[in-house]
Amino acid sequence: MSRLRWILTAAVLCGSSAWAASPAAPSPASARPIGIDLAGIDHAVLPGDNFFDYANGHWLKTAKIPADRSGTGTFLKIFELTEQHTADLIRHAGASHPAAGSNARKIADYYAAFMDEAAIAKHGLAPLKPELSAIDAIASKDDLARVLGSRLRADVDPINATNFHTEHLFGLFVAQGLEDPSHTIAYLLQGGLAMPSRDYYLSTDPHMAAARGKYHPYVVALLQQAGIADAAAKADTVIALETKIAKAQETLLDSQDVHKANNLWTMADFAKKAPGLDWATYFKAAGLDGQQQIDVWQPGATSGLAALVASEPLDAWKDLLVFHTLDAAAPLLPKAYADLHFDFYGHTLQGTPEQQPRWKRAVGATNTDLGDAVGELYVKKYFPASSKAEVQQLVKNLIAAFDERLDTLSWMTPATRAKAKEKLVTLKVGVGYPEHWRDYAKLEIKADDALGNHLRAEKHEYAHQLAKLTAPVDRGEWWMTPQTVNAVNLPLQNALNFPAAILQAPFFDPRADAAANYGAIGSIIGHEISHSFDNTGADFDAQGKLENWWTSADEAHFKAATAQLAKQFDQYEALPGLHVNGEQTLGEDIADVSGLTIAYLAYHKSLGGKPAPVIDGLTGDQRFFLAFGQAWRSKIRDAALRQRLNTDVHAPAQFRALTVRNLDAWYPAFDVKPGQKLYLAPEQRVKIW
């Protein structure tokens, strides 16, 4: 549920009758399951001391992280179920001998090629020959600009769009304009690094230094595996240049600031503001030479990277490009390459002991490169119309609760309230799957060319993104496939996407008690709704335009409340001596508080004035908050946690579960008293929406 995923990229409100008609309305306890893992609760822990451990303590004592994973928990449980479902669909796609060129044939052939290790071994580096030959032929800075431009690829994962750590020097994101959402524009994003972020190159933290120490042998080994002479010296050159790139890049916090990203440059501006790279040649090779303007998300980094193109020797750039080409392709190269790649990125950086079985990697790759084709099969089998209708009703209930909540906020002025309501009314909510499926007719897939299939899929996706620049804005565009276990808020579209895969137990179970559904999926839906009104969403109006619609008094209150929340999360120690960065995770933390608040109100509204039943000795409020706490059930390896603290805008799951301490209703539900570790005095509880 990332805030970054939607920085670049409205429902009909219902009255009281809609609440009464809610399919999640409670019924006698015997009629439906509770939706809570009672055995996972640790009653030896006081809820007021550590609610995460109370809700999940017994589970934590016995849960084991799979050897091929960096962590486990509720999200992995749903992901693995979805993975198995999609694996079955993919494996059987060719069972009926589908016609050549059909989506089913492409799915079957893509998966078969990935699984054919003998063919991959036989091909060796042959699929990379065009790229490696182009790099070898670089003889001038003009040639370098041409090759760099030809390698530009689109970021289609909006989760980390503004923290684009592509190995290509720049990344491209295509979406509506910040100031003119009626037109689609290209956004240029910083890149150029193989490790996850600039801090891996620059931080003095001993763990980061240790990672750097193991990175050099990996670069050497990969180059040697490819038969490249002087591998150790070339590795020194590669890492030295990457370190300069890291210094030129902007920080994650700066990249999150949408106001710093509003930089429309004309083609002439690039030569003036970022000299050093032949931009005309670069953009022509990238297919962007017809654009009048491009939004430069990180202008300082763009200028710095262009300067490095001019200052660093051609041979250094050629060494870097060769390594990046091999590194990006390694998972689809012969086994020795794939094993080296996993050993560094999976084992060293995330602490994962074993590489995933090949079939899992094949399923993941097929889902990535043929996502909508697989998604269309997925929803037909695993997402019935009844589930979509129930979730749509739940969404309406939450939006209505948010609307009513706006009327009760004493700090909000009438002018700001009117703008907020306008934005809420026009919010477009997509549930399950998109209205239109992607077209893969022009994508060539071969049954014996795994790496070639992926490279062609990347180019196909890039062409799709470029085509959007000359087409009308699609406000119904989806940014996630139906089989994705996640959700997204898209401020420029003023829209939400809730893929089918996240709409299943234990997040959502149409048979379960209402308290569990509202506490789990309700808080997630509320989280995404509230992103439209958080510290970045509040900068976008009902039409998706970057425009501050707050009065100065309201903005001052909002900033004071959110600063208090940032300080609250700053106190959480994830690893010895390593705390959460409350400013970095602020947007997600705001959404958690607001989403949980709205879900709680919606749950009580759904009761229709009747008291919630007591089930298995738990009140409705207890079940609601337990469902929330268990939704964030998680266990993660230290190395992976360290990486996420460095690169992720979400707080670790165990701290997100502690959001409950900001809701007044949580205190009487679990008899939380002053002196307990999570207790906050009423004036210290953060209330935003």
Determine contact, residues 608/17, Cβ cutoff 8 Å. Answer: no
Measured CA to CA, the distance from residue 179 to residue 317 in angstroms comes to 36
Of 521, 434, 534, 423, nearest in space to 477 by CA:
434
Which structure tokens are listed for 577? Answer: 């001596």
**pLDDT tops 80 at residue 22:** no
Measured CA to CA, the distance from residue 340 to residue 163 in angstroms comes to 25
Measured CA to CA, the distance from residue 319 to residue 235 in angstroms comes to 8
Let me know if 48 is exposed, middle or buried by CB neighbors in 10 A (0-12, 13-18, 19+).
buried
Measured CA to CA, the distance from residue 500 to residue 481 in angstroms comes to 9
Residue bearing the bigger pLDDT, 519 or 532: 519
Neighbours of 625 (CB within 10 A): 29
- How would you classify residue 642: left for phi > 0, otherwise alpha for psi between -120 and 50, otherwise beta? alpha
Determine contact, residues 338/141, Cβ cutoff 8 Å. Answer: no
In this chain, the answer to whether the domains covering 1-15+68-91+389-434+476-689 and 122-355 adopt an identical fold is: no
Q: How far is it between the farthest Cα atoms of the chain?
A: 78
Of 166, 171, 129, nearest in space to 149 by CA:
171
Domain limits of the chain?
A: 1-15+68-91+389-434+476-689, 122-355
At residue 534, the pLDDT reads 79
At residue 25, the pLDDT reads 35
Measured CA to CA, the distance from residue 162 to residue 256 in angstroms comes to 7
At residue 601, the pLDDT reads 95
Per-residue pLDDT tens digits for 194-225:
999 999 999 999 999 999 999 999 999 999 99
Measured CA to CA, the distance from residue 604 to residue 615 in angstroms comes to 16
Mean pLDDT, range 167-181, rounded to an integer: 93
Residue bearing the bigger pLDDT, 364 or 386: 364
Q: Tokens 């137990």, residue? A: 505
At residue 157, the pLDDT reads 56
- In angstroms, the Cα distances linking 578 to 120, 136, 336, 381, 559 are 42, 44, 35, 45, 25
CATH fold of 1-15+68-91+389-434+476-689 reads Collagenase (Catalytic Domain) (3.40.390)
Q: Could you name the CATH architecture of 122-355?
A: Orthogonal Bundle (1.10)
Per-residue pLDDT tens digits for 629-674:
999 999 999 999 999 999 899 999 999 999 999 999 999 999 999 9
**pLDDT tops 70 at residue 8:** no
Q: What share of the chain has pLDDT > 70, as a percent?
A: 94
Helices 103-115 and 371-382: crossing angle in degrees, nearest 10, is 110
Which structure tokens are listed for 57? Answer: 């303590």
Query: Angle 495-288-480 (CA atoms, 0-180°, nearest 5)?
Result: 25
Per-residue pLDDT tens digits for 295-353:
999 999 999 999 999 999 999 999 999 999 999 999 999 999 999 999 999 999 999 99
Which structure tokens are listed for 31? Answer: 């009629």
Of 491, 487, 419, nearest in space to 258 by CA:
491
Let me know if 12 is exposed, middle or buried by CB neighbors in 10 A (0-12, 13-18, 19+).
exposed
Measured CA to CA, the distance from residue 287 to residue 461 in angstroms comes to 13
At residue 510, the pLDDT reads 87
AA letter at 415: A
CA dihedral 245, 250, 255, 260 (to 10 degrees): -130
Measured CA to CA, the distance from residue 88 to residue 78 in angstroms comes to 16
Give the confidence band of 410 by pLDDT, cuts at 50, 70, 90. Answer: confident
Cis peptide, bond prior to residue 23, ω within 30 of zero: no
Neighbours of 228 (CB within 10 A): 16
Q: What is the mean pLDDT of the chain?
A: 91
Beta strand spans in 84-183 (E): 170-176
Measured CA to CA, the distance from residue 80 to residue 66 in angstroms comes to 11
**pLDDT tops 50 at residue 625:** yes
At residue 245, the pLDDT reads 98
- In angstroms, the Cα distances linking 60 to 39, 57, 63 are 11, 5, 5
